[in-house]
Structure 1
Amino acid sequence: MKRRVKMFLKATGIAIVSFIAIVLIAHFIGRMINSRTPKGGINESMYVDINGTKQWINIYGQSKDNPVLLYLHGGPGSATSTIDYAFTRKWSDVYTVVTWDQRGCGKSYASSKTDTITADLMIQDGKEMTEFLLGYMDKERITLLGHSWGSLYGANLALKYPEYYEAFIGAGQFIDPMENEKRLYEAAQKWSNGDEEGKAILAKWSPDNEYSMEALNARNATMERYGYGMMKDGTDYNTFTTVLFNPNYTIKDYIGYLRKGSKGFKPYLAFWENELSKLSLLGRYDYKVPYYNINGDMDYQTNFELASEYFDAVNAPQKEMFVMKNATHGLLESRSKEFSEMVHKIAETQK
Structure 2
Amino acid sequence: MLLYLHGGPGDAALPLVLKFNRELEKHFTVVVWEQRGAGKSYYRFGDEQPSIDTFLQDLYALVSALLARFEQRDLYLVGHSWGSVLGLRFVQEHPELVRVYVGCGQVVNMKKSCREAYGYALSHAEGKARERLRRIDCGYPDTGDGWLEDLLFVTGQVVKHKGSLYGRTNYNELIKPFLGCRYYSPLDLLRRQKGSLQAIRCLWQELMQTDFEGQTHYGAPVIFAEGRHDSHVSSELAKRYFDSIETEKRFVWFEKSCHFPQWRESEKFNALIIGLLA
> One fold, TM greater than 0.5?
yes
Q: Equivalent pairs: percent with the same residue?
A: 25
Go from structure 1 to structure 2 and tell me whether the alpha carbon gap of 1:130 and 1:163 turns closer, same or farther (over 3 Å shift): same
Query: What is aligned with 1:131?
Result: 64
Cα distance in 2 for residues equivalent to 1:277 and 1:238: 25
1:123-144 residue CA offsets vs partner (Å, 9 max, x unmatched) = 1111111111111111000111
Decide which of 252, 264, 269 is 2:201's aligned counterpart.
269
Decide which of 100, 105, 114 is 1:172's aligned counterpart.
105
Counterpart amino acid of residue 289 in structure 1: A
1:232 shift after superposition: 3.6
Q: Does 1:203 align with 2:203?
A: no
- State how many pairs are aligned: 272
Decide which of 247, 251, 257 is 1:327's aligned counterpart.
257
Whether the 8 Å contact between 1:146 and 1:152 is mirrored in structure 2 is yes
Q: Does 1:227 align with 2:170?
A: no
Cα distance in 1 for residues equivalent to 2:98 and 2:257: 28
1:149-175 residue CA offsets vs partner (Å, 9 max, x unmatched) = 111210100111111110100011111
Whether the 8 Å contact between 1:159 and 1:287 is mirrored in structure 2 is yes
1:220 shift after superposition: 1.9
SS of the residue corresponding to residue 3 of structure 2 reads strand
Matches within 5 A, 1:152-171: 152-171=85-104
1:201 shift after superposition: 4.0
Query: What is aligned with 2:215?
Result: 284
Go from structure 1 to structure 2 and tell me whether the alpha carbon gap of 1:142 and 1:78 turns closer, same or farther (over 3 Å shift): same
Q: Does 1:95 align with 2:28?
A: yes
SS of the residue corresponding to residue 9 of structure 2 reads coil
Q: Does 1:312 align with 2:240?
A: no
Query: What is aligned with 1:35?
Result: none
1:276 shift after superposition: 1.5
Whether the 8 Å contact between 1:109 and 1:264 is mirrored in structure 2 is no
Cα distance in 2 for residues equivalent to 1:173 and 1:215: 23
Cα distance in 2 for residues equivalent to 1:311 and 1:263: 32
Go from structure 1 to structure 2 and tell me whether the alpha carbon gap of 1:93 and 1:236 turns closer, same or farther (over 3 Å shift): farther
Go from structure 1 to structure 2 and tell me whether the alpha carbon gap of 1:320 and 1:261 turns closer, same or farther (over 3 Å shift): closer
Query: What is aligned with 1:84?
Result: 17
Cα distance in 1 for residues equivalent to 2:195 and 2:24: 32
SS of the residue corresponding to residue 101 of structure 2 reads strand
Higher-Rg member (1/2):
1
Whether the 8 Å contact between 1:158 and 1:289 is mirrored in structure 2 is yes
Counterpart amino acid of residue 332 in structure 1: Q
Cα distance in 2 for residues equivalent to 1:73 and 1:263: 13
User: RMSD of the alignment, in Å?
Assistant: 2.6
Go from structure 1 to structure 2 and tell me whether the alpha carbon gap of 1:133 and 1:204 turns closer, same or farther (over 3 Å shift): farther
Matches within 5 A, 1:140-155: 140-155=73-88
Whether the 8 Å contact between 1:147 and 1:170 is mirrored in structure 2 is yes
Decide which of 257, 267, 270 is 1:337's aligned counterpart.
267
1:256 shift after superposition: 4.0
Counterpart amino acid of residue 266 in structure 2: S
Whether the 8 Å contact between 1:201 and 1:222 is mirrored in structure 2 is no
Between the two structures, name the one with larger relative contact order (CA 8 Å, sep ≥ 6). Answer: 2
TM-score under structure 1 length normalisation = 0.70
SS of the residue corresponding to residue 92 of structure 1 reads helix
Go from structure 1 to structure 2 and tell me whether the alpha carbon gap of 1:156 and 1:238 turns closer, same or farther (over 3 Å shift): closer
Go from structure 1 to structure 2 and tell me whether the alpha carbon gap of 1:83 and 1:226 turns closer, same or farther (over 3 Å shift): closer
Q: Does 1:301 align with 2:232?
A: yes
SS of the residue corresponding to residue 163 of structure 1 reads helix
Gaps of 5+ in 2: none
Query: What is aligned with 1:34?
Result: none
Whether the 8 Å contact between 2:73 and 2:97 is mirrored in structure 1 is yes
